[in-house]
Structure 1
Amino acid sequence: MREVRIFELEHDEPTSAWRVARPSTFKVISGEIWLTVEGDSADYWLATGESVELSRRAVAWISAGQAGARFALASGSERGKTKAKPGVPARDRLPRWLGAA
């Protein structure tokens, strides 16, 4: 059995820190999310449909893009689960509200 929680984050909300209690998949349902994980040297911009695996005890910092975002956090077993690739490193893609194309 898996637990899936859906969250919405507005652009003007402050950056949030999340401590992961058990291995989880973080997936963007709509919008864009800026994500950084303590101990990881890269920051990531995740767009709709992109996901990352978060290990137990990870601390993830998240913030929404210009239009806000909706995302899911899923934990527990999943039959046939494959490891997701992280999104585009933030240094390689500027957020749209900074004038990036």
Structure 2
Amino acid sequence: MREVRIFELEHGEPAAAWRVARPSIFKVISGEIWLTIEGDSEDHWLATGESIELPRRAVAWVSAGQSGARFALASGSEQRVARPTRGLPVFSWLPRWLGAA
């Protein structure tokens, strides 16, 4: 199971810092987002339909473009495979994408 949250940012709101507890997908639903990840040398401008994967323990700074923005944050984005245990089957889990853009 994974959690999906939807957020809205208005233009002019101060940049917000996100501490990522588990791997997540950040997807812009509408508007434009400025995103920078601590330790990454590049800033990212994401438009409607664009997304980026945020690794566990990352700190990301988020701000909205001129018209504000709406975005989704979905946890549990990386593929997980259980390790084999003597004679027991191996189960794998790969979450579905947030949906077609």
TM-score by length of 1: 0.76
Greater CA drift, 68-77 or 26-35? 68-77
Deviation at residue 79 of structure 1 after TM alignment: 3.3
**Where does structure 1 lack aligned partners over 5 or more consecutive residues?**
82-101
Quote the RMSD (CA, aligned, Å): 1.3
Alignment of 1:51-90 (within 5 A): 51-76=51-76, 78-79=94-95
Structure 2 counterpart of 1:62, one-letter code: V
1:80 to partner: Cα distance? 5.4
- Please state whether the residue corresponding to 2:3 is helix, strand or coil: strand
Number of equivalences? 81
Task: Normalising by structure 2, report the TM-score.
Answer: 0.76
Cα distance between partner residues in 1 of 2:63 and 2:16: 7
- Which of the pair is proportionally richer in helix? 1
Instruction: Indicate whether 1:27 and 2:9 are aligned.
Output: no
Q: In terms of Rg, which structure is larger?
A: 2
Structure 1 ranges of 4+ moved more than 4 A: none
Q: Partners of 1:72 and 1:66 in 2: how far apart?
A: 19
| 1:45 corresponding residue in structure 2 | 45
Aligned mates of 1:66, 1:24 — CA distance in 2: 25
